[in-house]
Amino acid sequence: MKAKLYDLMNWAKIEGIVYSEEDKPASILGPHTVGSSTLYQAFFPDAKKVTLILEDKNKRVSMDVADEEGFFAALSAGKKVGPYSYEVVTKKGEKVFRKDPYAFPVTVIQEELDKFNEGINYGVYKIFGSHEVEINKTKGVQFTVWAPGAIRVSVIGDFNSWDGRFTPMNRVDNSDVFTLFVPGLDASVAYQYELKARDGRISVFTDPYGDKEVTKERTISKVYTEKEFVWDDQKWIENRKINEDDFKVFAWEESKEKDVKTLAKQLKEQGFNHVSLPAFYLSSNFYQMVDYFSSETDIKKFVNEMHKAGIGVIFNWNTASCYALYRKQVSNFFISNVLYWVEEFHMDGLIFSELERLLYLDFGKAEGEWMPNIYGGSENLEGIEFVKHTNSILANRNKEFILLADIDAIWPKVTAPMEQGGLGFHYRYDTAFTRDLIGYLTTDPYHRSAIHEKITSRMGYAYNEKFVMAFPAKAVHDLWDWIPGTEKDKFSTIKAAFAYLSFLPGKLLAGFRVPETMEKEYAAMVKKCHELNSKTDILAKEDYNYSNFSWINSFQQKECTVSFLRKDSHEEGSLLVVVNFANNEKPEFMIGVPYEGKYEPIFDTEETAFGGTKKIDKEAIFTEESGWDGYAQKINVSLSPLSVSVYRYIPFTEEEIYAIAEKKADKIREELMAQAREKVELLKKFKGIK
């Protein structure tokens, strides 16, 4: 090495590069002004010879070896740095040309970084990760990652033989953020990050902000790119409204669905207005989290088609991996991920899955595996704050966004507004009840009387929150197989379950599977349930009003039946619902009712249109004055096996009241006349004796 060049070497910095411990490689690599000249330094561990090509000067400069591990340097006259590249002859004799990543400035804006460190950079996914960009008329990929505890981070991939010595990234100021622009790369590149910790350990991790792809060798990141997609849902976006009274959600299970357009059409015909996507996979290791920021266009196509059909899409966001939320940067990552799916994929709602793991420090953990909060309790204070923060941001950005909580634990005021001490969700999953109901439905009807409380206990808490009766994905798919009996029994049970849930207080999220040969009849029944819910205020606007529900009889364990009233404030229009979960017909079943009048049959799961054998009698049933179920009136109905029947209450008309009074009067007259005749006969006998 020339003496002049030797004197310019910063040997401490060179050692940091050679031993892969330099966190600001641009401070030594790349071009640097030295007096009236420019010093170029490069590190190529696989190089035997490196030539600096000054493209604007059409000049080639052979670089000196400063360190045999692959550190090269060259001095060129002039301060102006134009475009240049390196010609590298490898130790294998191959010749490659490389652009220098360290010739380009650090582009992370300090203001954006400050917001990230404060946990309020909600569009941080546009900065972190990997993005195709153009700097100084040169195209390439900008890599940016947050790596707390790292003394050095490198981006590795096919372009550098997955060797972390080649392209160490630049630490931004004194933060834990590392960035590097690598010229010449595009969206086809596969990459990972290699991290060297303070204790010298080296680990490789997938970019949490990148697309992921699983190969035989490794789980790699792909450059995030906004894949070309033309949205055609502007009409939906401009006009969407939250209608908490009319919320009908279909649980979509990807494995069984057909063409998206066909599915959207079918759901619309059946009366669904929302569909929920299954939960995305999340890893428990922050440095191995994948699929958070997928640019998969298939999801966009799904959402677009649903919106065109007038159906909103709710995505299921698993919170099980949300940890270390005390770090604002981590919290920012998760909030920005939620906003990514909402804004980039046009989602209409969010389900916080496994929320209990986020709200409780001890959930699912043994003694000694968790630490109490600062107040000595098991509540996860950071998790609670994260939920409220996320919900407030979503609500502020889009008033029409729907928030659902999937929490399988005791927690108060989940659906109460935040200003009232709640978490701010619109709905809460009632998983306790649906789990009980699954247990009930999968029990042979002969033994159901012993577990009757599983279908009735819900009403003890049904009005504590705004509940959605949601079923686990496995239950939605496999319930048919779990139900005992013949195919007819299974079909009747599925229909009865859906109808029972439809007429209970609360909303329903389910998409029960039935055989293809029965889909038409099942769809017709679902449509009818939805129509009744939409057009009946007591099932829609008044659904969460505790005064509009009362049991008629919830204690008929041996009969496996329940009956209840959905009450209208004016009585007229109230609905009587009778459920028979026994597998036998009840031709003359007495039910007590609170209102004198007529009960018109309006729905039965075993109607012929729904695949049953019952022709619904349109003639209303008149009440009888006779005590039953604690009421002064009763009606006599016929119940099919495994069925739900619904009757609408209609008061007697004036004419009917007079007609009934006349009949009563005639009956009383006949009874009095009969009594009179008996007395006369007795009198005659008495006189005859005398």
DSSP per-residue codes, 203-255:
EEE--TTSEEEE-SS-EEEE-B---------HHHHHH----TTS-EEEE--GG
Q: How far apart are CA 501 and CA 508, in angstroms?
A: 7
Q: Report if pTM > 0.95.
A: no
What domains are there in the chain, each with its CATH number? 3-99 (2.60.40.10), 110-222 (2.60.40.10), 234-538 (3.20.20.80), 546-655 (2.60.40.1180)
Calculate ∠ Cα 61-67-73, nearest 5°: 25
CA atoms 592, 593, 596, 597: torsion sign: negative
Position 225 scores a pLDDT of 67
Residue 424 tokens read as 């701010």
3-class DSSP assignment, residue 283: coil
Is 170 within 8 Å of 182 (Cβ atoms)? no
Is 62 within 8 Å of 47 (Cβ atoms)? no
Q: The tokens 């301060």 sit on which residue?
A: 79
Q: How far apart are CA 247 and CA 468, in angstroms?
A: 9
Q: How far apart are CA 470 and CA 472, in angstroms?
A: 7
- Cα-trace Rg, the chain: 36
Amino acid identity of residue 331, one-letter, is: S
Residue 259 tokens read as 């063409």
- Run of H or E including 305: helix 297-308
Residue 177 tokens read as 């953020």
Position 350 scores a pLDDT of 94
Position 243 scores a pLDDT of 87
Judging by beta carbons within 10 Å of its beta carbon (0-12, 13-18, 19+), is residue 21 exposed, middle or buried? middle
Position 212 scores a pLDDT of 74
Position 287 scores a pLDDT of 36
DSSP 8-state assignment for residue 638: E
Give buried/exposed letters for 651-677 (b at 16+ CB in 10 A, else e). ebeeeeeeeeeeeeeeeeeeeeeeeee
* Span 473-486, pLDDT tens digits: 788 889 999 999 99
Residue 364 tokens read as 């699912």
User: What separation in angstroms does the CA of 566 have from each of 547, 572, 573, 640, 648?
Assistant: 9, 11, 9, 21, 10
Question: In terms of DSSP H, where are the helices of 595-653?
Answer: none
Calculate ∠ Cα 324-353-334, nearest 5°: 35
Polymer length in residues for the chain: 690
Position 667 scores a pLDDT of 86
Position 227 scores a pLDDT of 65
Q: Which of 414, 416, 409 is nearest to 428 (CA)?
A: 414
What is the maximum alpha-carbon separation in the chain? 160
For residue 50, which phi and psi values (nearest 5 degrees)? -130, 135
Is 84 within 8 Å of 295 (Cβ atoms)? no
Is 460 within 8 Å of 423 (Cβ atoms)? no
Position 298 scores a pLDDT of 81
* CA distance from start to end of the chain: 157
Is 423 within 8 Å of 380 (Cβ atoms)? no
Residues (pLDDT < 50) of the chain are: 281-290
- Run of H or E including 635: strand 631-639
Is 135 within 8 Å of 105 (Cβ atoms)? yes
